[in-house]
Amino acid sequence: MKAKVSLSLAEICEGLSPATCEEFQLLGKRRAYPRGFTLFRTGESCAGIFWIVSGRVRTSTGGAENISQLAQPGEILGLKEALCGEAYSLSAETNGPAEVSFVSLEDLSVFLAGHPDAAFRIVQRLSGYLGLILEHLRSALRRSSPSN
């Protein structure tokens, strides 16, 4: 199972001042993409995060257990990789005409360094995701068949 940690803009902005949220939104370079445009591929080094302004983006894990999902407007892709300095763990391709805002790693780092509240908000949201998967793990443990 590959982790899809895609926080939304609303989740990050919740609890932040409107000015900070607006500043974050203005960081990115917006661009319109046609259907089928590949934003990034699994294994490519992470250049930054992608915030979907409009349209949808199909993400896929690749490999034998390929899991495909549609990311919605507001979702931010590549955040886990940007924070961890890892290669993208998913591929992302526009599922139709889409407008996407790209924030480079450098711009993201500068923004978060200057906004401790935003950085802390991301920690809280990631913690929430971890809590969910731990509950899922507890359920899976309950359901798992007796050990072979």
Partner 1 sequence: MGSGTELKAVGRCAGCTVKSEGLFCDLGIGALQELSRIRVESSYPKGARLFEEQDAPGGIYILCQGRVKLSMTSSEGKSVILRIAEPGEVLGLHAAVSGRPYQARAETLEPSVVSFVRREDFLRFLQENPESSLRAAQQLSRNYQSACERVRSLGLAHSAEGKLAGFLLLWATKGRPSPQGTRVVLALTHEEIGQMIGLSRETVTRTMSDFQRRQLVARRGATLVIQNKDALAQFAGI
Would you tell me which residues interact with partner 1 (CB under 8 A)?
1-3, 5, 63-64, 80, 83-85, 112-117, 119-120, 122-124, 126-131, 133-134, 136-138, 140-144, 147-148
Select from 17, 62, 71 the least CA-distant residue to 79.
71
99 token code pair: 């407008």
CB of 132 to partner 1, least distance (A): 9
Using the minimum distance from each CB to partner 1, give the nearer residue, 80 or 92.
Answer: 80
Using the minimum distance from each CB to partner 1, give the nearer residue, 32 or 123.
Answer: 123
CB of 33 to partner 1, least distance (A): 26
- For 89-120, what is the HEC assignment? CCEEEECCCEEEEEEEHHHHHHHHHHCHHHHH
CB of 127 to partner 1, least distance (A): 4
